[in-house]
Structure 1
Amino acid sequence: MRTINVGLIGAGFMGKAHSLAYAAMPMFFWPAPAVPHRKIICDVTEEAAAEGAQRYGFDESTADWKRVVEHPDVEVVDIATPNHMHAEIARAAAAAGKHIICEKPLARTAEEARTMYEAVRDAGVVHMVAFNYRRTPAVALAKRYIDEGAIGELISFRGTYLQDWSADPESPLSAGGADQLGTGRSAGDAPRGPVDVDDEMITMLRFSNGAIGSLEATRNGHGRNNFLTFELHGTEGSIVFNYERRDELQVCFASDGADRKGFRTVYTGAPHPYGEALWPIPALGIGYGETKIIECHDLFQAIVGQEAVSPDFGDGYQIARISDAILESSATESWVSVPPLETTPGRG
């Protein structure tokens, strides 16, 4: 079985999640498309990198991310750094012919994302953005229902991401150590300072098929931990998902008899997406780590099979365009159109 060497840049919270996935993926998906080998890890200092190597099981460590990109044995560069570093590292990794997985968001702006997308497209490497929530089995099941036409033509969409883990003004800045996210005042000497990003947002959406929608996010929703939800209504039914109850999908079908119409709960398990590789009993429970394991499998499957993978840098670029359009819409108090992006999915 083929072994693929990984170079990880960033040894914080996401580095931990990715390292877990590299170790566990063959245990869940067997035979694995390839066995990940944790070759080299990079962090901000030599000491932190060495600690990361010991903690996460990497052979080598460095404080210079260019060593990872230029390492002759590394096939996959994993970018788990703060957002402002993504573009430079991704462009360099693409130029070196490495396959790339980059944490979300792909970039800070659409222009930055464009340079990253063009770099991987021109290099012909496999490229993935780590939107791992998409690989929650209940989310994949919702997509299956939509694609099958189970809820008919989509009419409306509502998405929320409500949290309270940074509502406390004494909580640390996220740049002060990602392992401290959500710990509030207990984060000790982690740095604190004025917040310079949006804490509250809501936007209206119009889709090309005529559907309407909304997106809402807050970091000040006391009582909401990771309330990442979507609700879809179609001509033939509705779907509701809440990540805080990630093993469940709420569905209602218009074809149900009047005496039994209402939402039912589907508990994901073996019959559902990714179920054969996870746990054998529905509602036995999956966590954040399993979504990263699935993500790792799909990336390595794409590399070995020379296939497209989704979501890729083209998807990340389009999302950055949408994000920029939301900011423009807020500033101009007007609708802003985002045309479709013509891309070659997943591999250059």
Structure 2
Amino acid sequence: MTRSRTTDEVTLALLGAGFVADFYMQALAYVPHQRVVAVYSRTEERAQAFAKKWNIPRATDRLDDLIQLDGVDLYVVGLPTFRHQDVCLRLAEAGRSLLCTKPLGRTAAEARTMLEAVRARGVRHGYLETEVFTPALVRAKELVDRGAIGEVVMVKSREAHFGSHSPYNWDPELAGGGPLLLLGSHNVEFSRFMLDKPRAVEVFAWTGTLVHQTPLEDTAVMLIRFDGGKMAQVEVNWITRHGLDLRNEITGREGTIYTDITGATGIRAFALRDAGYVLEKAPATTGWIQPVAEEPFTYGYVGHLKHFVDALRTGAPFAETFEDGYVVNAIIDAGYRSARSGRWEPVESS
């Protein structure tokens, strides 16, 4: 069972010291009632460098020691996807509450194994999906729940950039898939969120490799049919040159909501000199640029970490759990089967 807490402050251990871990630390600076007490990385040198950068008191490359460390309330798994199953199973076996970044697994089978483990041990488990906590999409959901556009019948969601910065995400065995999995996990859960998480029935998908020399797809389009005939369209790729592109369309019987998270930033500039960091995966820092202000807020990192910290403090349920991560993996698995068969494929989840 989950260990009991004795203070109002939530103590965190961060597993991972890479790209997403940096975003977590940026976001946690805005989250009250929490403290990061330790960080793990695969090498002591990397762990120590990350701890020094973010003023974390303990750094280690010994995962088992950190799992057994007293005084940790919540473990935040920000490791590559191919390590999720092993690490989450070890945390569950030790009775530790945990959060895991997306996608939960490389496949639905991996995700199901993790879900069964946390259920069996009775630990609290959260799925770190940022998309549903972005301020724009939280506001869009408020409009939906108010009935402003009537019953939602169709959701379209796009995420694109020119490819992962991590070498392991280009390895089919390690990554589990290309943008359909690694980006599409965001879009699938956003679509479920806007439709109030109905059961996904079947999927039709196309994948292609259009630009990169890679055994993975670099482009995908997927249709999802839910109970009651509601639909979602997911469009993802690693062939978009201008940086991260996040757009959504929510259509109801009485209106439509559009969001453009990285295109309509409120800032547009023309720079002849180097502008520095502009936005995630931006290829250029001169010419016409559209910087994103406060990316940890804009992309939902602050929102989702604050939610999980507050929920653990108060005993409230987690809004996103391993159940959600498992369903997302099952939908995407069906997408890959459809891309191979050329037919609609059933979503196999239970």
CA distance in 1, matches of 2:293, 2:307: 17
1:196 offset after TM fit, Å?
A: 3.6
Give the TM-score of the pair, scaled to structure 1: 0.73
CA distance in 2, matches of 1:38, 1:172: 25
Aligned partner (choices 319, 327, 342) of residue 318 of structure 1? 327
1:292 offset after TM fit, Å?
A: 1.7
Aligned partner (choices 216, 219, 224) of residue 200 of structure 1? 219
1:175 offset after TM fit, Å?
A: 5.7
Q: CA RMSD in A?
A: 2.3
- Specify the alignment match of 2:97 in structure 1: 99
Evaluate the alpha carbon distance shift between residue 247 and residue 97 of structure 1 in structure 2; reply closer, same or farther with a 3 A threshold.
Answer: farther
CA distance in 1, matches of 2:347, 2:34: 38
Moved more, 207-216 or 128-137: 207-216
Aligned partner (choices 229, 236, 246) of residue 247 of structure 2? 229
Letter in structure 1 aligned against 2:235: E
CA distance in 1, matches of 2:140, 2:346: 27
1:215 offset after TM fit, Å?
A: 1.4
Gaps of 5+ in 2: 1-6, 171-211, 267-291
Gaps of 5+ in 1: 27-34, 177-192, 249-284, 342-348
Aligned 1:1-348 pairs, distance under 5 A: 2-26=8-32, 35-165=33-163, 173=167, 195-223=214-242, 225-245=243-263, 287-290=294-297, 291-338=300-347
1:93 offset after TM fit, Å?
A: 0.9
- Once the two structures are superposed, residues 129-158 of structure 1 have per-residue CA deviations (whole angstroms, 9 ceiling, x without a partner) of 111121111101111222222211223222
1:239 offset after TM fit, Å?
A: 0.8
- Once the two structures are superposed, residues 145-204 of structure 1 have per-residue CA deviations (whole angstroms, 9 ceiling, x without a partner) of 2222221122322221122356xxxx773669xxxxxxxxxxxxxxxx963422011122
Letter in structure 2 aligned against 1:243: I
- Specify the alignment match of 2:269 in structure 1: none
Residue 209 of structure 1 aligns to a residue whose secondary structure is helix
8 A contact 2:12–2:73 mirrored in 1: yes
Percent identity of the aligned residues?
26
Residue 81 of structure 1 aligns to a residue whose secondary structure is coil
CA distance in 1, matches of 2:245, 2:27: 24
8 A contact 1:137–1:247 mirrored in 2: no
8 A contact 1:4–1:36 mirrored in 2: yes
1:311 offset after TM fit, Å?
A: 1.4
Letter in structure 1 aligned against 2:247: T
CA distance in 1, matches of 2:95, 2:83: 19
Count of residue pairs brought into register by the alignment: 276
- Once the two structures are superposed, residues 283-324 of structure 1 have per-residue CA deviations (whole angstroms, 9 ceiling, x without a partner) of xx8533122222221111111222211211110000000010
Residue 25 of structure 1 aligns to a residue whose secondary structure is coil
1:126 offset after TM fit, Å?
A: 2.1
1:340 offset after TM fit, Å?
A: 6.8
1:53 offset after TM fit, Å?
A: 1.0
8 A contact 1:128–1:313 mirrored in 2: yes
